[in-house]
Amino acid sequence: MNLPEKFEILIITLSDRAFRGEYKDLSGPKVKERITEFFTSSGWSFNVKTTLIPDESSMLKDLLNEAGNIYNIIFTTGGTGIGPRDITVETVTPFLNKQIPGVMEFIRIKYGTEKPAALLSSGVAGVTGKSLIYTLPGSVKAVEEYMTEIVKTLKHTIFMQYGIDKHSDN
């Protein structure tokens, strides 16, 4: 199996208030900035699409039903907490064919040691269809922290996703 000629990446921001225009989405653009840095430095061709939706499970399900076979990587930002409108993790989890729990567990522990509130994020990572998917919190600071850790394993994760044995190159 070969890597895609061009990686298709989808970033979904879930935020009722940003969707209503009460404030500007900053977390989606931060994910885009960090993933652009990663793919540019890797030399891989890529395209990033962003979308902003309210915290609505049905809208996220519709996007995921379509996206799982189109996009190579999907990031969500927002909705990973314990509030009544935080629906991302519960909506995404049933779509996962395989979970990658170590990434999110490590991030929660690393940042939760200094800031215990970080332990309240319930974000997940895994594979749905042909896509890697990562669910990130909605704050820009949290996105920066999560992306810092995710990109450390992303190249190897992509190779694994496509059945390319790069273990001897570590």
* Residue range 8-61, pLDDT digits in tens: 999 999 999 999 999 999 999 999 999 999 999 999 999 999 999 999 999 999
Domain ranges (residues) in the chain: 7-164
Between these two residues, 95 and 117, which has the higher pLDDT value? 95
User: Does pTM top 0.85 for this prediction?
Assistant: yes
Residue 170 predicted with pLDDT over 60: no
In whole numbers, what is the pLDDT of the chain averaged over residues? 94
Among 6, 20, 19, 15, residue whose Cα is nearest residue 76: 15
Q: Is 69 helix (H, G, I), strand (E, B) or coil?
A: coil
- CATH no. of 7-164: 3.40.980.10
Question: Tell me, what's the pLDDT at 169?
Answer: 47
Question: Tell me, what's the pLDDT at 130?
Answer: 87
Question: What percentage of the chain exceeds 70 in pLDDT?
Answer: 98
- How far apart, in whole angstroms, are the C-alpha atoms of residue 159 and residue 170? 12
* Residue range 113-167, pLDDT digits in tens: 999 988 999 999 999 988 999 999 999 999 999 999 999 999 999 999 999 987 6
Question: Tell me, what's the pLDDT at 129?
Answer: 85
Among 1, 46, 35, residue whose Cα is nearest residue 160: 1
